[in-house]
């Protein structure tokens, strides 16, 4: 049986002000899962590049975020 190790944050305690944003991220992921019928697909590279610029996010980091999402919950 595989043991799951607890995740220990190296950033200290999460400030209370970002907790609601994290909850919203979880809500949006659940909505995306529902709308995609649990077949997440992968956004077009051009879209990811546009979002990277629009939201001032590193394009490679954003791609990795979708790769992790694409792997699905069952991978963990």
pLDDT at residue 55 is higher than 70? yes
At which residue do the structure tokens 């305690």 appear? 13
- For 58-67, how does the pLDDT look when each residue is reduced to its tens digit (9 = 90+)? 999 999 998 8
3-state secondary structure the chain: CCCCCCCCCCCCCCCHHHHHHHHHHHHHHHHHHHHCCCCCCCCCHHHHHHHHHHCCCCHHHHHHHHHHHHHCHHHC
State the pTM of this model: 0.67
Tokens of 68: 């992790």
Contact 62, 48 (CB under 8 A): yes
- For 9-32, how does the pLDDT look when each residue is reduced to its tens digit (9 = 90+)? 656 566 778 888 989 999 998 898
């Amino acid at each position: 049986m595989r043991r799951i190790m607890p995740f220990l944050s190296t950033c200290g305690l999460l400030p209370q002000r970002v907790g609601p944003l994290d909850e919203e991220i979880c809500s949006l992921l659940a909505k995306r899962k529902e709308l995609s019928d649990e077949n997440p697909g992968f956004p077009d590279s051009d879209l990811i590049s546009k979002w990277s610029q629009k939201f001032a996010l590193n394009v490679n980091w954003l791609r990795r975020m979708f790769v992790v999402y694409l792997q699905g919950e069952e991978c963990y």
